[in-house]
Amino acid sequence: MTYSSLLFIYGFLPVSLVIYWITPSKLKNISLLILSIVFCTVNSLRFLEFMVICTLINYLDGILIDRLRSRKIIPEIMLFTGITFNVIVFFMFRTDFLDIFKDRLKIPDTFFPVGVSFVTLTAISYITDIYRKCIRAETDIIKFSLYMMMFPAIIMRPVIRYNTFRRMLNDRKITVSEAGTGLKIFVKGLTEKVIAGDTMYMLYTAVRSVDIWEMSALNAWLGMTAYMLSLYFTLSGMADMGKGIGYCFGFRFPNCFNYPVFSNSIKDFYYNWNIQVVYWFRRYIARPLYEICGSRIYRKIIFIAVWCCIGMWYRFDINGLIFGGIIGLTVISERYIRKFRLLKITGIIYTYVITIICMVFLSGENINYSVNYLLVLLGGSKMFADSMTLYIFKYYIVFLLIFIYCTTSLFRNMIMRSGNDYIIKAIAVISPVVTILMLILCTALISYTGSSEFYLTGLQERSFFP
């Protein structure tokens, strides 16, 4: 069960809201935790076991670091133990290493804890902040369990620090207005995932179904553009759904995406793509290493290495490493290009080309396929267009143009700059109607296609989805 399943939309979510809203204030944390446990159990009993084990180990590790901070070496040992545990968890589920033990542990072949990468980053930030004396260890197991496994954030969570979560927990406001805003954000995310993300993934799979050397160059560009859009709308949609659910329960989660597509530089693109994750790597890996190495050359090497780590976080193989390395090298190169102010003229085109190259390595089955696909992009198949190109333009070009427009902030900026109160009021009146219509349309599409889970499954098979 994910946020885009009918069981969740029309079953679990409304029942959860009713239970949570009628629960007395003093018991709301317990109520939300029980609902989160039920959510994990519906997904899989193994998923619940995984989340409980991760929560308890990090909870105890944080307390030991805090209580024994006056002892020599012991806090460092506990920090190292906690980080090692979380890294091993990440490594086990993002590689084939777990397959060795699946029979002995009686773990189904289909089991994969979606969100494991976010869980490990969240846990590492918690125990590291305790070690740095930024926060005290949480002794309330219920509050800490909510931090680790609260269902509005469990699938595509913003990687927030514990002191930020604690403020949200203490200052949450549960009102009808907040719930209405949350449901609107949820439907917006659902629309992104079901209508835009799934449609673009269908186009991408259609292009990929052709043998690589029989693919025309234009089809290769269109297919990879579709992949980029499907990835963006799926991840952004899941994040918006989680954010909307959070609003309904009184939590205001920060944005994970801020219109990154078609920026005028790679730096702007990737610092607005999965914002909280990029910030985590800057705070917990890049900055500590910068403090040790003052040389500019070493800092540039560290910067590239950190982006390689981000690439490996997305996809734990050589393709992920190359994906991150391209971004790191490009961002450093842009510092010199900016001096000539070339990006103001060609920034969007340049960013699009580099992003497509990155997506080639992110989407490829292996390094060999990615290199061959890159050659086809450059005309290696000696075909510019073919009959499939006409088919794509006939059936998908309108969708492509609409979805490309939706990845930008042009509409929002146009409304804000207009300053016309009548337009703003008209949008406020129309918005609920559009939300209901989008919910009906998404429901129909999910019912028709099955469950809208195929994209998540495809990403899991390539150990990509966080």
pLDDT tens per residue across span 213-225: 889 999 999 999 9
Tell me how far apart the alpha carbons of residues 224 and 226 are, in angstroms, rounded to a whole number. 5
pLDDT at 460 over 50: no
pLDDT tens per residue across span 352-388: 899 999 999 998 888 999 999 999 999 888 888 888 8
Top-ranked range on mean pLDDT: pick from 103-112, 115-124, 126-135: 126-135
pLDDT at 208 over 80: yes
pLDDT at 420 over 80: no
pLDDT at 462 over 60: no
pLDDT tens per residue across span 391-404: 888 888 888 888 88
pLDDT tens per residue across span 279-323: 999 999 988 888 888 788 888 899 999 999 999 888 888 999 999
**What's the pLDDT band for 407 if we cut at 50, 70, 90?**
confident
Report the mean per-residue pLDDT for the chain.
Answer: 84
Torsion angle in degrees (nearest 10) through CA of 215, 461, 354, 219: 20
pLDDT tens per residue across span 16-53: 999 998 999 889 999 999 999 999 888 888 888 889 99
pLDDT of residue 56: 95
Question: Could you tell me if 452 and 198 are in contact, meaning their C-beta atoms sit under 8 angstroms apart?
Answer: yes
pLDDT tens per residue across span 328-358: 999 898 877 766 666 666 778 888 899 999 9
